[in-house]
Amino acid sequence: MTFEDFAGARLQAVLRFATALTGDPDLAKDVVQEVLIRVSSRWQEIGQLDHPEAYIRKMVVNEYLSWRRRSWRLIPSGTSSHLPGRPSPDPADGYVERQALLAELAKLSRRQRTALVLRYYEGFSDAEIADVMGCTRSTVRGHVFKALAALRVELNQPLTITAPRQETR
Amino acid sequence: MEGVGRAPARTEADIRAVLAELGRRAPSADDVLSELRAAGPRRRGTSPQLPGQLRTAGPHRRRIARLGWPQLAVSAAAVATAVALALTLGGSPSRTGGGPGIFPVLPNPPASADGPPVIVPSGHHPSSAELAKAMLTAFSAAADDLVYWTTDDFRAGHLIQTTRTWSWPAIPRPGQVQYNRDVFSAIPRGASEAMGSVKLTEDNGYVTVTPHPSRYGQDEPARLTMVCYAGTGQVGCGGGRFDTPAGTWSEDTGVMPYIDYRPSPRGADLARQIARGQWRIVGHPLLRGQRAIKLAQTRSGTFEGHPVFLWVSVATYLPLRMIWVYGKFTEVDNWYYLPPSKANLAHLRVPIPPGYQRSG
């Protein structure tokens, strides 16, 4: 498979993942472009992997986590400008709640958000998330736990970890 | 204390639905590819470990423990202390019941704040266990200090962003009013990292009531002041309720999601890590004019073998500096525990630049 073949077949999926990850289509585009530049120059190696897309998503995660802080500060305020044209036809309450949830997602730390996206968008296991993020499974669960707590999400099944410790006062 | 937060109201299905909706907003692959072809062979960043390769340090390793903090400071965040504009600054913040109404005039500072007592006799090189114990005592003693915390980020030796943060009290107690300010500078958009210099980008003040620890997100009465500087290429700061266009300032008072402004890693966490052997003492150099204990994080530490160094003052047993190295990225943190004098607390004020109009 050539790089062009891969890009033609899978790039849109990578972009969807990057958009969910960053919460911003423009930033997703920038992040994916940076990654693709490196991928194209190393395609001989990457193309030989069993799952090049998984590797590329890992690169996207790394790029997002390392993206300069100003990059997300520079996102024009009001993500609703990226909505496709008009508010959702759903009932207003649902729309407002989704917008509120999106806004709260944007407040999470990048690592918390990354863990959440890998878990709920990609459907990865803790071990897979740990591999992508380069950390331990317990760290992954800590990120997810904190993120869900911040978003006030009720778990179907409780996470089997100890709650993150607060500083003893 | 657990369980004080509000009951969860959302489900995992809501998260999946929102993320899926976000994914549907992705840009077109054709656009990305065409721009990529036009961009030429630029290179930046690093790639993850290919099977069979040794893992190399890369930018993805940087700011591991710090990411959440400043981001919160921005996204919702960087709330502010316009309060401070109206405050008579001084001593310890008063405890409150946490109700609205709430930001008291600060009382006068204590007559003296000489810092925590020295625990280990001078001239003695403490063991890691002694050091950890001394640090825990020192943090407790410094709870009412003003902590000033600087972060400088370098890429390939070039300073690319800085954060200056003041937070008081250093360890706020539940129900206590806390005052924070966060000043961020970065290289203007479009400028070369290698050639550009950082420029003041954002100045935020945040006053809130410290909640009890909880596993849930918490809302607290707060006041956020945000100055979004123009001339750095940005179009605005914050977002949503806290939207502040560049070249303006805003102030928002109300019940907001609580943001923990304290420096990370937490002092007590550092002490525990030292006690657990995640740091080893590697020297006793001078730093900022005082004797210090230099520690290096071991491979069992949080940062998985990447070089991280910590300097702790022998005089106060409070941290002075931490340096994190992730490949070509380096972050330098400096901590200053200051007495809450009127002059020091004046740094909690967010100055409004002349000519800046209030936008919200």
CA angle B61, A57, A35 (to 5 degrees): 75
**C-alpha distance across the termini of chain B, in Å:** 36
* Partners of residue B23 in chain A, C-beta under 8 Å: 16-17, 19-20, 121
Q: Cβ–Cβ of B71/A165 closer than 8 Å?
A: no
Provide, rounded to the nearest whole percent, the portion of chain B with pLDDT above 70.
64
The conformation of residue B121, written as its DSSP 8-state character, comes to P
The CA distance from A24 to A75, in Å, is: 8
Which one of A82, A101, A110 has the shortest CB-CB distance to B14? A101
Report the pLDDT averaged over residues B281-302.
84
Q: Does A51 touch chain B (CB under 8 A)?
A: no
- Cβ atoms of B291 and B309 within 8 Å: the answer is no
Please tell me the distance in Å from A98's CA to the nearest CA on chain B: 6
The pLDDT mean for chain B works out to: 71
CA distances from A63 to A127, B46, B170, B333 (A): 20, 8, 33, 23
- pLDDT score, position A118: 92
Please tell me the distance in Å from A50's CA to the nearest CA on chain B: 10
Q: Examine the pLDDT at B130 and tell me if it is beyond 70.
A: yes
With cut-offs at 50, 70 and 90, classify the pLDDT of residue B301: low
Nearest to A66 by CA among A42, A31, A33: A31
Q: Examine the pLDDT at B80 and tell me if it is beyond 50.
A: no
CA distances from B343 to A130, B108, B348 (A): 46, 11, 10
Residue labelled with tokens 């999946």: B16
- pLDDT score, position B113: 36
Nearest to B270 by CA among B316, B330, B306, B322: B322
Residue labelled with tokens 């290096």: B296
Nearest to A106 by CA among A127, A79, A125: A79
Please tell me the distance in Å from A46's CA to the nearest CA on chain B: 8
Written as tens digits, the pLDDT of chain A (169 aa) is: 788 888 888 888 999 999 999 888 888 888 888 788 878 877 887 888 878 888 888 888 887 876 654 333 333 333 333 333 333 344 455 666 777 788 888 888 888 889 999 998 888 888 888 888 877 887 888 888 888 888 877 665 554 433 333 333 2
Nearest to B71 by CA among A115, A71, A132, A162: A71
The residues near B73 (Cβ < 8 Å, ≥ 6 apart) are B165, B182, B184, B204, B206, B259, B261
B357-358/B248-257 β-pairing: parallel
Q: Examine the pLDDT at B57 and tell me if it is beyond 90.
A: no
- Each residue's pLDDT tens digit, B179-228: 999 888 888 777 776 777 888 988 988 888 888 876 555 677 888 888 98
- Choose from B28, B47, B151, B241 for mutation: most chain A CBs within 10 A: B47
The CA distance from B274 to B276, in Å, is: 5
Model's pTM, two decimal places?
0.52
**Is the pLDDT higher at B351 or at B47?**
B351
- Cβ atoms of B22 and A83 within 8 Å: the answer is no
The CA distance from B313 to B298, in Å, is: 20
- pLDDT score, position B216: 55
Provide, rounded to the nearest whole percent, the portion of chain B with pLDDT above 90.
15
- Cβ atoms of A169 and A134 within 8 Å: the answer is no
Q: Cβ–Cβ of A7/B233 closer than 8 Å?
A: no
* Partners of residue A98 in chain B, C-beta under 8 Å: 17-18, 21
* Partners of residue B25 in chain A, C-beta under 8 Å: 19, 25, 82-84
- pLDDT score, position B87: 32
Q: Examine the pLDDT at B108 and tell me if it is beyond 60.
A: no
- Each residue's pLDDT tens digit, B307-359: 889 999 998 999 999 898 777 778 888 999 999 998 999 999 899 999 999 98
Q: Cβ–Cβ of B32/A155 closer than 8 Å?
A: no
Single-letter amino acid, residue A58: K
The CA distance from A136 to A138, in Å, is: 5
**A80 CB burial (10 A radius; 0-12, 13-18, 19+):** exposed
H or E segment and range at residue A98: helix A92-107
Question: Whats the size of chain B, residue-wise?
Answer: 360
Q: Cβ–Cβ of A154/B269 closer than 8 Å?
A: no
The CA distance from B250 to B267, in Å, is: 32
Q: Search chain B and give the residue with CA nearest A58.
A: B48
- pLDDT score, position B242: 60
ipTM over 0.85: no
